Amino acid sequence: MKCPCSSGATYAECCEPIIQQQQKATTAEQLMRSRYSAYALGHTDWIVDSQSPDGRQFVDRNATEQWSKRATWHRMEVLSVQGGGVDDAEGFVDFKAYYTIAGEDITHHEVASFRKEDDTWYFVDGVEVKPRPFKRLEKKVGPNEPCPCGSGKKHKKCCGKVGGPVG
C-alpha cells in the first residue's frame, strides 16, 4: 500500500519502520511524515512516543485517538522545511494535512517544530497557520464612477447594472 504521508513510497518502505520503532527518523520531515501516517492509520502510541519527553504530559491520548479514528485522512503536503537535517538539532516543517471529519473537508496548515535529543527526533510543538482574509486587489468601482469597460457611461448604468454587459 502507498504510504499515507504522500511521499510516493510504499508504507513498508517509508513510515512503517519508523512508527514500529524498527528505525529512527533521520530528519524532522521524516518524523513529521510518520506522525501524519500514524494519525491516518490510528497508531496513537507513535503519536505520543514521538512527542518531546517534556511535552508528553500535555498530550490527551484519548482525544488524539478519537480524532485520529473519526477523521478520513486524504493526504499530506510538505510546503517547506527549515533545518531538521541529519546534522541539525532542530527543524521546522510547514505542512498541510487534508482530511474529512463529520462530513466537513478540512485543510490543517501548520508549522511544526522538532528537536533532536540523544540522536532522536521529537515533535515539540505546532503553530496553526490561519488563512489570510480575502483582500481585493483592484479598487472597487463606485456606482457613479465611469465604467471601467470604457463605454463612457456611469458604472451603475453599464456593467454595474443587474443584467448589464460584462466588461
| pLDDT, position 1 | 94
> Dihedral of the CA atoms 40, 41, 44, 49 (nearest 10)?
-90
Rounded average pLDDT over 51-55: 95
pLDDT at 136: 63
pLDDT tens sequence across 120-152 = 999 999 999 987 776 666 677 777 778 777 777
Cβ atoms of 70 and 101 within 8 Å: the answer is yes
Query: CB-based contacts of 152: which residues, under 8 Å, 6+ apart?
Result: 146
Q: What does the pLDDT look like over 86-114, one tens digit per residue?
A: 999 999 999 999 999 999 999 999 999 99
135-144: long-range contacts at Cβ-Cβ below 8 A with a sequence spacing of 24 or more? none
Answer for the pair 9, 3: CB distance below 8 angstroms, yes or no: yes
Reduced to 3 states (helix: H, G, I; strand: E, B; else coil), residue 30 is helix
- Domains identified in the chain and CATH numbers: 16-128 (3.10.450.50), 136-167 (no CATH)
For 43-68, the three-class secondary structure string (H helix, E strand, C coil) is CHHHHHHCECHHHHHHCCHHHHHHHH
List, for residues 56-95, the tens digit of each pLDDT value. Answer: 999 999 999 999 999 999 999 999 999 999 999 999 999 9
The DSSP element (H or E) to which 83 belongs, if any, is strand 72-83
Amino acid at residue number 40? A
pLDDT digit string, tens, across residues 33-43 = 999 999 999 99
pLDDT at 167: 46
Rounded-to-integer distance, Cα 154 and Cα 5, Å: 54
pLDDT of residue 94: 97
Lateral strand order in the sheet of 104-117:
72-83, 90-101, 104-117, 120-128
Whole-model pTM?
0.78
Give 3-25 pLDDT, tens digit per residue: 999 999 999 999 999 999 999 99
